[in-house]
Amino acid sequence: MKYRIGNGLDAHRFTEGRPLILGGIKIAFPKGLAGHSDADVLTHAIIDALLGAAALDDIGTHFPDDDPQYRNINSILLLRQVLEMLTQRGFKIGNLDTVIVAQEPKLQPQIPAIRQNLAREMNLPLTDISIKAKTTEGMGFTGRGEGILSMATVLLYLP
């Protein structure tokens, strides 16, 4: 078997008047994230990790933020397209490890729902998906409550 590791990172600032979406799940919070799509930083980081592991460029190459067809799009739809690209090339996903960095909101109660949603969308068992929520102890843009950052690492393999 051939193994491939990919890393992804995404960050968006908070804005008023939008829902907060993480891993395709709406999170109860008075602010959302600014972006061309739904600004789902977790799903964007996962997409970049998947594309990186397969050496297929990055999310912006496939879904440019100046293309009107992606305006306010549900990022899970983009994830589905990337998963199809990987399937066509014979890749399988070994596991996914992610980190969401946010001072607020507190995400621990929502992590089970996010994991379940991603497991369903990615056709993986829950045991192959890790989601961790961290703060930066008040440091940096996440610590000041200006936005959220997410990182993802994925293992792909060719059987």
pLDDT in tens, 49-84: 999 999 999 999 999 999 999 999 999 999 999 999
Q: Please state the rounded mean pLDDT for residues 37-45.
A: 98
Report residue 156: phi and psi, to 5°.
Answer: -110, 155
pLDDT of residue 32: 98
CA quadruple 95, 99, 22, 88: dihedral sign:
negative
- Residue 148 near residue 98, CB atoms below 8 Å: no
| Domains of the chain in sequence order | 2-158 (3.30.1330.50)
pLDDT in tens, 102-121: 999 999 999 999 999 999 99
Q: Across all residues in the chain, what is the average pLDDT?
A: 97
pLDDT in tens, 121-137: 999 999 999 999 999 99
Q: Give the residue from 105, 107, 129 showing the smallest Cα distance to 116.
A: 129
Q: Give the residue from 45, 24, 28 showing the smallest Cα distance to 148.
A: 45
DSSP 8-state secondary structure symbol assigned to residue 28: -
Q: Are strands 32-33 and 129-134 parallel, antiparallel or unpaired?
A: unpaired
Distance in angstroms (rounded) separating the CA atoms of residues 101 and 33: 13
pLDDT of residue 132: 98
